[in-house]
Amino acid sequence: MKQYKAVNWNEPENDYALMFWEQNIKQFWIDTEYIPSKDIDSWKSLSPEMRECYKKALGGLTLLDTLQSNTGMPKIMDHIDSLQNKSVLAYMCMMEAIHAKSYSTIFTTVATSRDIEDIFNWVQQNKYLQFKASTIDKYYRRLADTDISKEDLFMGLCASVLLESFLFYSGFFIPLWLCGQGHMVASADIIKKIIADESIHGVFVGLLAQDVYKKLPNPEASKEKLVNLMNELYENELKYTEEIYTDVGLTAEVKEYVRYNANKALMNMGFEPIFKVKRVNPIVLNGLNVETTQHDFFSKKSTNYEKATEIVHLRDEDFVMDTSIAV
Ligand code: MN3
Ligand code: MN3
């Protein structure tokens, strides 16, 4: 007969669950604490092409957060033995639902009901977005069975890290780029909170993936599958980027940012970077690097946020990566 176990936080199950739990709690926020309506004048000052790009970027982000909340986190949780790690994933799952909702909080202040309807229809019909979602979901669906291979679990965890640390960034580019120049700053406060969360999610799920990787029967073959998946998604990101950024002339810079974050995803899973990155637009990096905000994994709340008690500012080193490694 199955014995049901209760989660006991007084006995550490591993050396990181409590740390991740506490860091997640420190980063807690809800969308309604922010005031994107401050951006209405800024929104009106943007060109129609820029507004279109921004809406599509946020629509795409909404889709990814919906998938992560509804499927990714719950399916992964089913296959994680540590009850404390499960609790961390459950918390992250709840934050994914807040993320998905927060884009609507931005939409409702800048877009008409008709506009909003158009964006959600566009998301449902855009082949690149649908490809992203269905490709990742394919790996999540394999986790629906109780009896899965170690490789299925590894690939499911990797799919999650690719979503968290890589696939979001073609969408994050435009709010950061605008904010770095003083546009849509209030909405960017929300986006930066999401980025801080995705950063910790990618690191945590990446650690879970690394744990499973050590136990794989044929790690090299599994790694090859991961790299193939990454390349498949990368090709799709390039096309998606062209579709939404060509009219605002930012395609080349977004692609560079996509490669930069693809490398970060690989590093979260314990692998070497494979993409050559020359120079990421400093405005986008500066979009994160304002005095009032931090994004990194060990950051506390934004100083814009009343409950902040202790602030760790971003340093330039947070963005430094070795660009000499390339295949
Ligand atoms: Mn999220
Ligand atoms: Mn996430």
Domain range annotation of the chain: 17-308
3-state secondary structure of 11: coil
Residues marked as catalytic? 103
Give dist(CA 194, CA 295) in Å, integer: 9
List, for residues 205-264, the tens digit of each pLDDT value. 999 999 999 999 999 999 999 999 999 999 999 999 999 999 999 999 999 999 999 999
pTM of the model: 0.88
Report whether 270 contacts 206 (CB < 8 A).
yes
The bound ligand whose nearest atom lies closest to the alpha carbon of 92 is: 2
Return the CATH fold of 17-308: Ribonucleotide Reductase, subunit A (1.10.620)
Per the annotation, does 198 bind a ligand? yes
| 3 CA distance to ligand 2 middle (Å) | 32
Per-residue pLDDT band at 312 (split at 50, 70, 90): very low
Mean pLDDT, residues 7-28 taken together: 96
| 239 CA distance to ligand 2 middle (Å) | 23
Per the annotation, does 224 bind a ligand? no
Q: Across all residues in the chain, what is the average pLDDT?
A: 90
Per the annotation, does 183 bind a ligand? no
Measured between alpha carbons, how far is residue 103 from residues 66, 109, 216, 220 in Å? 11, 10, 38, 39
